[in-house]
Amino acid sequence: MSDMRAMVLRATGQPLVAEQRPLPVPGRGQARVRVHACAVCRTDLHVVDGELPDVRPPIIPGHEIAGVVDAVGPGCRLGAGARVGIPWLGWTCGECDYCRSGRENLCDAARFTGYQIDGGYAEYTLADERYCLPLPDALDDAHAAPLLCAGLIGHRALRAAGPGKRLGLYGFGAAAHLIAQIALHEGREIAAFTRPGDQAAADFARALGVQWAGPSTGPPPWPLDAAIIFAPVGALVPTALRAVRKGGRVVCAGIHMSPIPEFPYQWLWGERELVSVANLTRADGVEFMRLAATLPLRIEVTPYALGDAQRALDDLRAGRLQGAAVLQP
C-alpha cells in the first residue's frame, strides 16, 4: 500500500475534504505512525475556523493521536510496533530562553501538530520521535487519545489553579470531564458550570461525582478557591473572577477566547489572579501519562469514522457531545 486517506483543511471556514495522499516518508528522527485513534479538540475548531494566527492550509488537523509506529527514518530510536501518543507540541527550537528554562511550551519557534505539522485526521502521520509520549497500557487507543490534549493541558491548568479545595470548572467537555475526576481523587470539591439549559452536560458532570452542577450564568454554590475556564467564552472571565474568593485564581485553559468584556477593577482586587495556560511541555506529558496510568479514569468517548471528521467537528461546535469525540481511521 502506498496511499492513505486523510481529511484535509483546504481553506479556513470550509468543510474538510477527503483526499488520497501518498504515504508520508519518515525523515531523520521521525517515526511514521499508523493512526488508530485521534481525538477531536476544540483547538481543531479554532484551526478550521481560522481563529488562530497564520493558519496555512492545506493542513491535516488532529493532535491527540494514539497509534503504532510502522516505519522510522534514520536516527529514530523508536522501533516499528512501538505504541505511541502524539500530542500538540510537535517541535521546539531547544535554544531560546523559554526552551532553556524548562518552558518549551512557550518557545517562539514551536511547531504544533495539526496546525503547522500535519496531524492525525488521517490513516498515517509523521512525528518527531522526541515529542512522542508513552501511553498507559491499561487504556485502548480510543480511550488514550483524549489524554493527549484534553487530559494533558487540562492537568497543566489544574496545577496552575493551585491547591485550593473548592474548584470551579467552566465548560464541561472533554478536558473538564477528565480533570474533574483527577481533582475529586485529590479530595477537592467541584462546581461544574455548564451552558444555561444544557441539562445533559450538568447530569453528565453529576454522574462523574461533582458536588454541584449548574448554569454558568448563576452564582457558585460556595466561594471558589480557583476556577478553570475551558469554554472559549471571554464573558466567563469576569463571571469566574466574581465567583472566586479573595486570593483566588482564575485559569484560562483554552488557546482562543472571544473578547473579554470590560469589568470593574473591584472584581480583580483582593489579590485575585487571572492567568492563562499555553500548550504543554514534554515533561508535562510524561508526568501526566504516569498519573493517568494510576487512576481509574472514566473516559467518555464518542467514536467516529475518519470520513465523518466534519460531523465530529460540527457536533463539538454544537455541544452535542459528552466527553470526547474520537476518530478511528
Q: How far apart are CA 199 and CA 296, in angstroms?
A: 26
Cβ proximity to Zn ion: between 5 and 111 the closer is 111
Q: How far apart are CA 100 and CA 57, in angstroms?
A: 31
Residue 185 C-beta: closest distance to Zn ion, Å? 22
Q: How far apart are CA 310 and CA 7, in angstroms?
A: 9
Cβ proximity to Zn ion: between 96 and 233 the closer is 96
Residue 243 C-beta: closest distance to Zn ion, Å? 25
CA atoms within 13 A on the CB side of 217: 4
Grid cell at residue 172: 464541561
Residues that bind Zn ion (CB under 5 A): 41, 43, 92-93, 96, 99, 107, 149
Residue 195 C-beta: closest distance to Zn ion, Å? 20
Cβ proximity to Zn ion: between 132 and 202 the closer is 132
What values do phi and psi take at 50, rounded to 5? 70, 25
What values do phi and psi take at 17, rounded to 5? -120, 135
Beta bridge partners of 68: 34, 83
Cβ proximity to Zn ion: between 92 and 281 the closer is 92
Q: How far apart are CA 257 and CA 66, in angstroms?
A: 28
Residue 107 C-beta: closest distance to Zn ion, Å? 3
Cβ proximity to Zn ion: between 41 and 84 the closer is 41
In degrees, rounded to 5, the angle at the alpha carbon of residue 150 between the alpha carbons of residues 145 and 156 is: 125
DSSP state of 104: G
Cβ proximity to Zn ion: between 45 and 235 the closer is 45
Residue 7 C-beta: closest distance to Zn ion, Å? 16
What CA dihedral angle connects 204, 208, 210 and 212, to 10 degrees?
Answer: 20
Q: How far apart are CA 305 and CA 184, in angstroms?
A: 33
Cβ proximity to Zn ion: between 243 and 277 the closer is 277
Beta bridge partners of 249: 226, 273
Residue 45 C-beta: closest distance to Zn ion, Å? 10
Residue 247 C-beta: closest distance to Zn ion, Å? 30
What values do phi and psi take at 38, rounded to 5? -140, 115
